[in-house]
Structure 1
Amino acid sequence: MSTVELNQPVPDFTLPATGDQDVSLSDYRGRKNVVIYFYPKDSTPGCTTEGGDFRDHHDAFEKADTVIFGVSRDGIKSHENFKAKQSFPFELLSDKEETVCKLFDVIKLKKMYGKESLGVERSTFLIDKEGVLRQEWRKVKVAGHVEEVLEAAQGL
């Protein structure tokens, strides 16, 4: 499977999500813009802050006709706990097989404490109502990021 490219349609995918459901990108085609943000791990400081920022701006995203999904390799049980604890008003998708992570090319070699491992690089993607990738943010720094994504969504 190739990876996504700016200004090109994003291939459809389906992942298990919180709320005991599966979410498919095609469910939103013609109806909503979609923000997909990839994050390394549930309940870690940076991921909690980023999710909280999306939560705090959720109403503004809704007004911009945009739905938000968080994606990591954690399982649904972990996602359900994280979502409940942080009161996220959006669904978290589980990509244990890394299918969608690979589609968006967010699995990268990371170094931590001198050790190398493959992990999710914090990244966000904005897909328009027609399913076309309009903007991407890679190697995201959390501070101020959500406001930038919101501004882009409002511009669609």
Structure 2
Amino acid sequence: MALKIGDKAPGFTLNNQDNVAVLVDELIGKKPMVIYFYPKNFTPGCTAQACSFRDQYQDFTDAGAKVFGISADSVESHKRFKAKHNLPFDTLSDTSNKVRKKYGVKNELLGLLPGRETFVVDASGIIKMRFNSMMAAKHIPKALAVIKGL
């Protein structure tokens, strides 16, 4: 069942680009977060999306938010992706798609491509935004507007 605005965000633990476990469940209910799911490292749309989050990262952190990007790519792929594009936030490896499923992120293009979806979670752990669009550039301004409104 897909999560909706007003639901409590489920916790999870995934390894980041440095193969360190990130316990997001320990952050839920303590600070605002942007959790964005994307299809694949190094593809044009995903690179543009990650770099847009990078370019606006200070605005998110000024609002007290943590940003996490999640895809099914390996830890090693995430390490290269983060280094190549100087990403200041963790990219998390969900190789089994368990977190993607937990958040109800569906595949796109006849089920062939992992979906692109962004969630904003407030400091009390409640989902305040769920945005699904393959148009990568639309995610950042929407998420930032919600974060700034918290």
TM-score tier after normalising by the smaller chain length: over 0.9
CA, structure 1 residues 144+29, in 2 after alignment: closer, same or farther (shift >3 Å)? closer
The answer (yes or no) to whether the contact 2:32–2:147 under 8 Å persists in 1 is yes
The structure with the largest alpha-carbon Rg is 1
CA contact (8 A) 2:30 2:125 kept: no
Q: Which residue of 2 aligns with 1:142?
A: 136
The DSSP-based 3-state class of the residue aligned with 1:29 is: coil
Counterpart of 1:56 in structure 2 is: 55
Distance 1:123 1:75 in 2: 19
What SS does the corresponding residue of 2:49 show, helix, strand or coil? helix
Structure-2 separation of matches of 1:62 and 1:130: 17
Counterpart of 1:121, as a letter, is: G
For residue 84 of structure 2, what is the aligned residue in structure 1?
85
Q: Secondary structure at the match of 2:137?
A: coil
- Secondary structure at 1:120's aligned position in 2? coil
Q: CA separation of 1:108/1:30 partners in 2, compared to 1, >3 Å: closer, same or farther?
A: closer
The residue type equivalent to 1:28 in the other structure is: L
Moved over 6 A (4+): none
Where 1:16 maps in the other structure, the secondary structure is strand
1:114 corresponds to which residue?
none
**Aligned mates of 2:27, 2:9 — CA distance in 1:** 12
**What is aligned with 2:103?**
104
8 Å contact from structure 1 (residues 101, 120) kept in 2: no
Aligned to 1:132: 126
Contact 2:118/2:139 (8 A) holds in 1? no
Please state whether the residue corresponding to 2:109 is helix, strand or coil.
strand
Matched residues in 1 for 2:69 and 2:121: separation?
Answer: 14
TM-score normalised over the length of structure 1: 0.89
Residue 6 in 1 paired to residue 12 in 2? no
CA distance in 2, matches of 1:98, 1:119: 13
By how many angstroms is 1:128 displaced?
A: 0.9
Unpaired stretches in structure 2, ≥5 consecutive residues: none
The equivalent of 2:15 in structure 1 is 16
By percentage of residues, which structure has more strand? 1
Q: 1:10: Cα distance to partner?
A: 1.5
